[in-house]
Amino acid sequence: MLSGAAASLLTNQGRATAISTNIKGIPFTVGHLARALRDRHLTSVTIVEAVLNRANLQEHLGTFTSIDADKLRDSAKQADTALDQGQDSGPLHGIPIALKDNIDAVGFATTGGTPALRHHFPNRNAPVTQRLIDAGGLIAGKVNMHELAGGGTTNNPSYLRTRNPYAPDHSPGGSSGGSAAAVAARIVPAALGTDTAGSVCNPAAYCGVVGFRPTLGRYPNAGIVPLSLTRDTAGPLAHTVDDVIALDAVLAADRSEFPQQTLAGKRIGIPKVPFRENNTSDIQLLMEDVEARLKDAGVTLVEAEIPDLVNIVNETGLITLGARIRRDLTAYLETSSASVTFDDVASQIADPFVKSWMTPFLSPTNDMLNEEARVARNVIPALRQLYSSYLRDHALDSIIFPTTPTPAGIEVPGTEDIIVDDVRIPGGIWLNIQNTGPATLWGGPGISLPAGFSAGGLPIGVELNGVIRGDKALLGLASAVEHILPATPPPT
């Protein structure tokens, strides 16, 4: 159990009720808390005590793998003293933010969710961690993840089983399930995850929060346990698009002017293959509602397919996920002065699903490496060009699709199956990345927004993908879309 003085987590009122739990009447979002701190309506100590209390009360959700309450309290006191003396460190001053357990932060183990790294304490912060700290953010602790970021359930046999705050027997998604669950449960106002094939947007959708995957390379990848550096990126999760915008500016070190947008006159594409395949009836109905809302707001919806998308995505196969792991992870271990080798990590993989798909890549053959190089050299650029041409030819601002084809499912232990609406779906775990996967290959920005609930009360997300390197334009569009979507009440 976590220690910490009780904090007042008061009942929400009005629109704020649907966004987050309040602290002394202040909505539990990065933006609201930051303003309240500067207006001295709240202190960082009060916020931190609320975080610690909420983490204690919600321990059954399996979110935090490590948290240093004394260090967090001390950091909050320092933040309050600084403000009292007129010293403002930046937009995140005094705000606690959780980190996925594959992101380096001094004083915390970076386990990558795998047994061999249980005692790996890096001696420097990842650049993304340092940017949060430089902007005044407080590191709330580390949160759980699927082992080596290699799966979509965040049921980690070596650490914790993270549960969905809206339905604890259901998956929170993954691999950043701890990040999404900690935000959804109102333990922290924001968290940082990582995304390779959908590991930020997927759990954001399942847990009813906002998750943003930036254009590949927008945020630095150093100091993060890698899965595949050709697809890996950090990504923030929060309650509102405005919070994600604030975090993106810090993480990207991009303080350029933000383009405010309205929906009238926007053009959004609706490719149906593969994005509208395997959808549950709840997902189908929700997407019809979202499309109607967009039309009412003046958006032109363009139904057009991305030519040959599935065949090109299938040509990449798992090779883009696994073939580089020995090279990339070895480099991370050496750079971070880890006391273990890649072979130590590989031999101790505990999750059966991760071990099953990753084993062929742990000692890749020359043929595998050559194939990965061919895909990186020829296929990925072709896919990137295909997507860019699709947006240009149809004069689109973005595309939209359900983040996942199903709401959060129930795992069937020892299998790749999930149960959705009492129906067992063979191999259903791979549906996690059916829709999010293509964008992680072409490398453009994507954001998942909570858009409603299934008949069973499970959150459903919709995703917008924008122009490659058009991150701010996509965030502006997402902010406008967010305002026409139904508000998302907190879990009970």
Active-site annotation, residues: 100, 175, 199
CA torsion angle for 186, 192, 197, 201 (degrees, to 10)?
40
Q: Residue 34 is encoded by which pair of tokens? A: 């930051």
Q: Which residues contact 265 (CB under 8 A, 6 or more apart)?
A: 298, 300
Residue 259: C-alpha distances to residues 105, 245, 247, 372 (Å): 32, 11, 16, 38
252 within 8 A of 246, measured Cβ to Cβ: no
Residue with tokens 């003046």: 298
Which runs of consecutive H residues, i.e. helices, occur in 209-351? 241-251, 281-296, 309-316, 319-322, 325-335, 342-347
400 within 8 A of 464, measured Cβ to Cβ: yes
Residue 279: C-alpha distances to residues 332, 339, 399 (Å): 38, 45, 17
Helix (H) or strand (E) holding 32, with range, is: helix 30-38
CA torsion angle for 75, 226, 248, 250 (degrees, to 10)?
40
Which amino acid, one-letter code, is at 460?
Answer: I
Q: Which residues contact 112 (CB under 8 A, 6 or more apart)?
A: 101, 102, 120, 145, 147, 148, 149, 225, 345
CA torsion angle for 109, 240, 207, 163 (degrees, to 10)?
40
45 within 8 A of 4, measured Cβ to Cβ: no
Q: Cα separation of 475 and 466, whole Å?
A: 9
Q: Which of 25, 31, 24, 23 is nearest to 13 (CA)?
A: 25
**Phi/psi at 82 (5° precision):** -60, -45
Q: Which residues contact 359 (CB under 8 A, 6 or more apart)?
A: none
126 within 8 A of 102, measured Cβ to Cβ: no
Q: Which of 126, 119, 123, 127 is nearest to 106 (CA)?
A: 123
Q: Residue 415 is encoded by which pair of tokens? A: 């299998």
Q: How many CB atoms lie within 10 A of CB 404?
A: 31
Residue 269: C-alpha distances to residues 195, 436, 446 (Å): 23, 16, 14
Q: Which residues contact 427 (CB under 8 A, 6 or more apart)?
A: 416, 417
